[in-house]
Amino acid sequence: MTALQETRLFEDLIEVLQTFPQGVSEHTLLKTLNERGTVTLEPDTFSDQVKLFRTHFLLYNALYQLRDDLWRKARGHLEITAVHIQLQVYNPSSPALREHDPMRDYYLDLTHLEKTTAADIDAALKSFWKRLHEETVFTGGGLKAKALQVLGLKEGVSAKEIKLAYRRLAMQHHPDRGGDPAQLHSINEAMETLKPLIRNAR
């Protein structure tokens, strides 16, 4: 993010998240905010690891600030994970209001943004994809299992089969062909989850 309109950030975040009641990926959220002019993404933001990390950090810094603000005003709850962001109704009995969240501490401390090097980013990315792989392989209800289900596939399929299924379903559900935009969104979200595993299979 090279530009951030602070005065409207929280309002824009809420408005965008309300359009994705089932939640949204970070990638989709950033692209939507960019289209609205809330943030400005450079052409190479998603291909440059350092720029992507800075963009990711600033977005999550804002999301955790927003979550705190929503809690203070009893306006809602923001579920924030590495791959899913969802605006939920406020629930005063939610354990999330009481639990210590180390991720919140990390993203609200801007010194982490200032001190993180390109080598740190590379190591963190490798660690993240390793954890993602373990979570999806060793838990039946993990992200990978859900993504495969959206594409109509089962565990054990090859990277080639995943890509073929994605292309077929994306064409079938594309709005230009009379398809359902919501279904296409789910298909794209599933592919975003599976992409790192496809890369690792090469």
Tokens 């989709």 found at: 28
Residue 137 confidence (pLDDT): 46
Residue 139 confidence (pLDDT): 44
Residue 125 in contact with residue 165, Cβ under 8 Å? no
* Cα of 6 vs its chain's centroid, Å: 21
Kindly indicate the confidence band of residue 19, based on its pLDDT and cuts at 50, 70 and 90: very high
Residue 77 in contact with residue 17, Cβ under 8 Å? no
Residue 103 confidence (pLDDT): 82
Domains of the chain by range and CATH? 6-116 (no CATH), 125-200 (1.10.287.110)
Distances in whole angstroms, Cα of residue 159 to Cα of each of 15, 24, 110, 138, 191: 36, 24, 38, 19, 11
Kindly indicate the confidence band of residue 147, based on its pLDDT and cuts at 50, 70 and 90: confident
DSSP E strand stretches across 81-174: 85-88
Residue 98 confidence (pLDDT): 59
Distance CA 134, CA 94 (A): 28
Is the pLDDT reported for residue 26 higher than 80?
yes
Name residues whose C-beta falls within 8 Å of residue 161's C-beta, 6 or more positions apart in sequence: 153
Residues written for the chain = 202
Is the pLDDT reported for residue 17 higher than 90?
yes
3-class state of residue 177 by DSSP: helix
Is the pLDDT reported for residue 39 higher than 90?
no
Q: Give the whole-number percent of the chain exceeding pLDDT 90.
A: 19
Kindly indicate the confidence band of residue 1, based on its pLDDT and cuts at 50, 70 and 90: very low
Distance CA 148, CA 165 (A): 10
Residues 78-132 pLDDT 10s: 988 877 899 999 887 766 655 667 888 888 999 988 888 888 877 776 666 555 5
pTM, rounded to two decimals = 0.60
**pLDDT, mean of residues 49-64:** 89
